[in-house]
Amino acid sequence: MQVFKAFYKSLRRQITSVLLYVIAFAAISVIMANTMSENTDTLFTAKRLTVAVFDHDNTDESRVLYNYLDRTQNLTSIKDDNEAIADELFFRNVDYVLIIPDGFSENPDSLKNVKQQNSSYAYFLDNSINTFLNVFFNFRNTGYSCDEAARLTDDCIGSVEEATLLSDTRQDDVQITVQNIERYFHYLPYIFIATVITSLGGLLLIFREKNVNYRIRCSAVSAVHYNTALALACLTYSILLWLVFMVLALTVCGKGLLSVRGLMLVINSFVFLLVSVGITYLISFLAYNPNILNMWSNVIGLCMSFLCGVFIPMEFLGKNVIKAAHFLPAYWYIRTDELCTQYTGTSGELKTYTMYLGIQLLFAFAAFSAALVISRYKKDSVL
Amino acid sequence: MFLRLFLYRLKSIFLQKDLTFWTLAFPLILGTFFYLGFGRLLNGTELELNTIPAAVVTVHENTAFETVLKEVEKSDGKALFDLTFTDEDTAIAMLKENKATGIFYVDATPHLTVAENGMEQTLMQSFLSQYCTQSSVFEKIAAEHPEKLADSIDFLSKRHSYGSEISLADASYDPYMQYFYALIAMCCLMSVSSGVECIGTALANLSSLGMRRECAPTRKSVMILSDLAAAFVLQSVGVFLLFFYLTVILKLDFGNRLGLSFATALMGTLFSLAAGVFIGIAFKCSMHIKMGIALVFMMVNSFFAGLMAATMKDWIEHICPLFNRINPAALISDSLYALNMYPSLTRFARNMGILAVMTLVLCFISGLILRRSDYASL
């Protein structure tokens, strides 16, 4: 038990830096859970944006477009100057700028726009303008006058019914706060990898330090006993870390976590924690310096998160990228996460869930095994 | 003396092969994986769609809608929807069991029911909107101008896209470049740990090497500045390699002001070194904790600049815009964006000015703390 005790003595001495990492990444996980929000009660809700329109064409067609935007958005006037437009966008006085150039009525493709960076509502407005113009120019080509075409376009677009969200699709007893639970657990792979590698990795580096390592190997403690004690220490530390994040999950997600789906997500997160510990154990043999350890944590954490659908939805990734992602544990975590959020209680789903957990456990086992092989290689190469 | 110390420090940095390799390779590795993740989106490649399973419930007969549902195809020629015609109860059960993404109700005015938000549900609603709009159009044209109906169908089926987003600086712009701007910002902020290390090897209370160097007759300012200059050279080489890799190998478009973009990154590196020195001096704790503070500083600032989630900077801009004005990662990524998007250099100059002022303030405070401190004995 001496190795186990030595681990926790080291932890006590480095508690400040460990707490620093844990608090920072815990804060990031909470912010991510609360800010990546979409309204799930109503679908595709268009928002009235603050729009500036510069009509250089001044024809009937351009005025129709102007009037459409006047009815559906909040129009504002700004100076017609690139620098002024840039400043207004920067200070968020305007969300979308539409420039109707001279000759628009003959060549509608010449329309230009500048919009807020990464605003989904602005892209939605793009779509609305395209739909309006498609229908409007179709009526114009048929022979209707501008005013008549505009009136008919409004009638046709107004005839669309919005999709209905089926309520009561969940079979759980407790109403789940779907948004927060899904988002909190969705980003956990990055949080776990980054936190475990930086905090636990830093503690393991103490044991990998050359002179300490030599003294341990000279001792009466066998390699098996030493590795077992160290692995147990890592595991218990990680479980404590995991409990901290689960208590945080309870605060963020509320009673919604206390459900079948919530429990499945919690178990999934625990299994991925084991994967993170395995990866950290392996990395601790490859990094000899806290700087290099930090770089490993960023490379593994960020790259796995981008390639496995954590930060970018999987439907946007290429087929080859998804095929390659099958060899990364975070991919299986995300697949399990998606299954949990849509779980309806069938035995087939439960079987698939168990299979995905098993795959993640295999990754953890592989990482631990690779770590033991490397430790054996390093031992033999020195002696 | 400065030159001698600078050259020796540079030599000792490059002799630490592992650390040098990681400092130079880390940004390239991240950039490669970002490109692999975003590659398709950057090239504007059309997303590949899977066939969407949908249940169909007939309320009132609408042959036209049913025909369109069956015949609508994806760009690869395969059917867009995998349809199951059934009754309402079975359809709802299918929706709850996730065997169908949505239920189309065949009616005089067709409508859609879904279980949740998502890309496939958005596609289904978009399809329905398009159908309802177009069928209203065709009904009106068929009633009043039947001879124009064929042309109208042909026109609307093409689904023309009007206009395009422009850059005010007459450069092309891709919204996913924001992730690469944040990546460059994070790579600049990596220099914080180099700054902390420079102080760690210069101060007697932090390392045995620091003790020996404090005993030397060389002025502390010359020693620290030469160390920082050497660290700056290494980081600059790393940033240059990153720009070269992103623009020449990966062929990403950083606009036509590459020189100023590189200068932005250098300014960011300078700030990070100054921040590292400040962290090394101001916090009275072990080197381990200082390095932890440096790492947290880098990750938190990069996170709020949108490295992991593109909308983060936008969210901060709404809640606390002042934070975006002092977050170095946000200033760097914003400068890179402004150079690409806006013709005037005002915004770029404003951000660089803020960075320069913060650098000077940090240097000044660090100098105040360090000056005239001496050891009676070591």
pLDDT digits (tens, 9 = 90+) for A354-377: 999 999 999 999 998 998 888 777
* Structural domain contains residue B21: yes
On whether residue B248 sits in a domain, the answer given is yes
Residue B124 lies inside a defined structural domain of this protein: yes
Residue A235 has pLDDT above 70, yes or no: yes
**What is the torsional sign of CA A346, A347, A348, A350?**
positive
Within this chain, do residues B137 and B193 fall inside the same structural domain, yes or no? no
Does B140 have pLDDT greater than 90?
no
Mean pLDDT of B108-117: 82
For B312: left if phi > 0, alpha if psi spans -120 to 50, otherwise beta; the answer is: alpha
CA-nearest of A204, A380, A94, A187 to B312 is: A187
Which of B160, B187, B209 delimits the end of a domain?
B160
**Which pLDDT does position A353 carry in this prediction?**
92
Does the pLDDT of residue B43 top 80, yes or no? no
Which one of A126, A156, A178 has the shortest CB-CB distance to B136? A156
Q: Per-residue pLDDT for A34 more than 80?
A: no
Q: Are residues B72 and B15 in the same domain?
A: no
- Looking only at the bridges linking them, the beta strands covering A112-115 and A96-100 are antiparallel
Arithmetic mean of pLDDT, B135-161: 81
Q: How far is A26 from chain B (nearest CA, A)?
A: 11
Domain boundaries, position B351: 2-42+172-372
Q: Tell me, yes or no, whether B61 and B8 share the same domain.
A: no
Best mutation target, A119, A134, A297, to test chain B (most B CBs within 10 A): A134
Which of B 203-262 lie inside 8 A of A, CB atoms? none
Highest mean pLDDT among A30-39, A50-59, A290-299, B79-88: A50-59
**Pair of tokens at residue B299:** 């990750």
- Domain match, B308 and B248 both: yes
Query: Among partner residues B124, B288, B344, which is closest to A17 by beta-carbon distance?
Result: B288
Q: Does B97 touch chain A (CB under 8 A)?
A: yes
B44 has a pLDDT exceeding 70: no
- Indicate whether B344 belongs to any domain: yes
Same domain flag for B70 and B189: no
In chain A, which residues have their Cβ closer than 8 Å to the Cβ of B307?
Answer: 302
| pLDDT (average), residues B328-338 | 92
Considering the domain architecture, whether residues B215 and B321 belong to the same structural domain is answered as yes
Indicate which of B109, B173, B303, B308 best probes the interface with A, i.e. most A CBs within 10 Å of its own CB.
B308
Q: Higher pLDDT residue, A354 or A347?
A: A354
Number of C-beta neighbours around residue A195 at 10 A: 30
Q: Within a domain: residue B167?
A: no
Tell me, yes or no, whether B211 and B339 share the same domain.
yes
Q: Which residues of B touch A115 (CB under 8 A)?
A: 165
Please check whether residues B366 and B217 belong to one and the same domain.
Answer: yes
How close, in Å, is residue B129 to chain A by CA atoms? 6
| Minimal C-alpha gap between A17 and chain B (Å) | 5
- Specify whether B363 is located in the same domain as B221: yes
Same domain, B181 and B271: yes
ipTM above 0.95, yes or no: no
Helices (H), chain A: 2-13, 15-35, 60-72, 82-90, 120-142, 146-158, 178-186, 188-208, 210-218, 223-253, 260-286, 290-307, 319-325, 329-341, 347-382
A129 in Cβ contact with A65 (< 8 Å): yes
CB A50 within 8 A of CB A76: yes
Is A77 an interface residue toward B (CB < 8 Å)?
Answer: no
Most confident of A373-382, B57-66, B272-281: B272-281
Residue A358 has what pLDDT? 95
Q: Decide if B165 is inside a domain.
A: no
Same domain, B12 and B124: no
Domain membership of residue B16 (yes or no) is yes
Per the structure, the count of domains in chain B is 2
Is the Cβ of B163 closer than 8 Å to some Cβ of chain A? yes
Residue B165 CA: distances (Å) to CA of A22, A98, B178:
42, 9, 16
Least trusted range by pLDDT, from A131-140, A168-177, A183-192, B334-343:
A168-177
Q: Do residues B307 and B364 both lie within one domain?
A: yes
Q: Tokens 């179709």 sit at which residue?
A: A138
What's the mean pLDDT when you consider all of chain B?
84
Sign of CA dihedral B178, B179, B185, B188: negative
Per-residue pLDDT tens over the stretch A11-24: 888 888 889 889 99
Cα separation of B337 and A370, whole Å?
A: 43
Query: Residue A184, SS3?
Result: helix
Q: Which of A146-150, B43-47, B335-339 has the least mean pLDDT?
A: B43-47
Least confident segment among A118-132, B239-253, B341-355: A118-132
Distance CA B316, CA B311 (A): 9
Q: Which of B105, B126, B160 is the last residue of a domain?
A: B160
φ/ψ region of B41 (left if φ > 0, alpha if ψ in -120 to 50, else beta) reads alpha
Q: How far is A39 from chain B (nearest CA, A)?
A: 9
- Tell me whether B345 touches chain A (CB under 8 Å): no
Provide the CATH number for the domain around residue B104: 3.40.190
Instruction: Find the closest chain B residue to A152 by CA distance.
Output: B137
Which candidate in A15, A141, A291 is best for mutational testing of the B interface (most B CBs within 10 A)? A291
Domain stops at, among B160, B180, B215 = B160
In a domain, residue B330? The reply is yes
Of B36, B119, B163, the CB nearest to A111: B163
Beta pairing class for B52-58 and A112-115: unpaired
Looking at residue A242, its pLDDT comes to: 94
